[in-house]
Amino acid sequence: MTRRLYTVPLPGGASLRLGERCLVMGVLNVTPDSFAESPHIQDPDAAAAAALRMEAEGADLIDLGGESTRPGAKPVTADEELARVMPVLARLRGRLSIPLSIDTYKAEVARAAVAAGAAIVNDVSGLRHDPALAAAAAGTGAALVVMHSRGRPDTMQAEAAYEDAIREVADEIARGIAAATAAGVPLERVIADPGLGFAKLAAHSYGVLARLPALAAALDRPLLVGPSRKSFMRAALGDRPPAARDWGTAAAVAAAVLGGAHIVRVHNVDAMVQVVRVAEAIRSAE
């Protein structure tokens, strides 16, 4: 299957070339309650060192988050989120040579993070939580990830009801993309994320992974897929803690690459870079 090529403009005249190979986005959560890391990285120096280590391991992008969005998580204020991410951004400026994404749904955090060096805004709410975020992204020149979800982290699993998951996910992402462009974000700056595990039962997440080509065709935007260590894997693996789901993550990452994902978002960069490279070799042999 051919993966469409996209050039996504970034601030400062840079750009992200997507589609020649699947890129690896390393997850850097600086929260006290992230579901997938133990121990949690809260010290800014340790967090910056982790980002540089992921770059050395082969990450193409880093996604920095200061608020947990796991199911059941409670929101934090913009001030608290900024207090977590800004010291890390300050330590990475001029040291990290790959683009950095800020994982936030708050306009205030997005503006400050891009001013401090972030190049991408990754909104897990699909522009539903903060109406000002789209305009903030437009004003900064950052690329924007529009992810599919419903509700809030503490309510989203109650909204996991679909008649046709791919069609509904595509339609709801398309509405987020329309809101972004209406606020001034150029379409070429937009990346779509189907939101595995967000407002989805395990069967929905597996179904989305199995039908990524249909989603890509419906949206005509580059796809970011984040299966890493998520709880939907319990349906296949049993009740393992997140850090023990890396083999399951490897299978999901390989499926995402073979299905045409442009970016995969992962915690264990070193291992998943190997998975992506082998899956890409299989794709190229088709």
Instruction: Enumerate the domain spans of the chain.
Output: 6-284
Q: Which two tokens stand for residue 57?
A: 């391991």
17: which residues sit within 8 A by CB, 6+ positions away?
5, 6, 7, 8
Tell me which residues of the chain have a pLDDT lower than 50: 38-39
The whole-number pLDDT of residue 35 equals 55
The residue from 152, 189, 230, 245 that is catalytic is 230
Q: Phi and psi of 94, rounded to 5°?
A: 85, -5
Among residues 141, 62, 72, the alpha carbon closest in space to that of 98 is found at 62
Q: Reply yes or no on whether 265 is catalytic.
A: yes
Query: What is the per-residue pLDDT across 200-234, written as a single tens digit (0 to 9) for each?
Result: 999 999 999 999 999 999 999 999 999 999 999 99
The residue from 91, 200, 245, 265 that is catalytic is 265
Was domain 6-284 assigned CATH 1.10.1840.10?
Answer: no
Among residues 140, 45, 35, the alpha carbon closest in space to that of 89 is found at 45
Q: Are 121 and 114 within 8 A, CB to CB?
A: yes
Q: Reply yes or no on whether 230 is catalytic.
A: yes
How many residues make up the chain in this entry? 286
C-alpha triplet 100, 244, 153: angle, nearest 5°: 55
The whole-number pLDDT of residue 179 equals 97
Among residues 101, 173, 180, 100, the alpha carbon closest in space to that of 137 is found at 180
pTM passes above 0.85 = yes
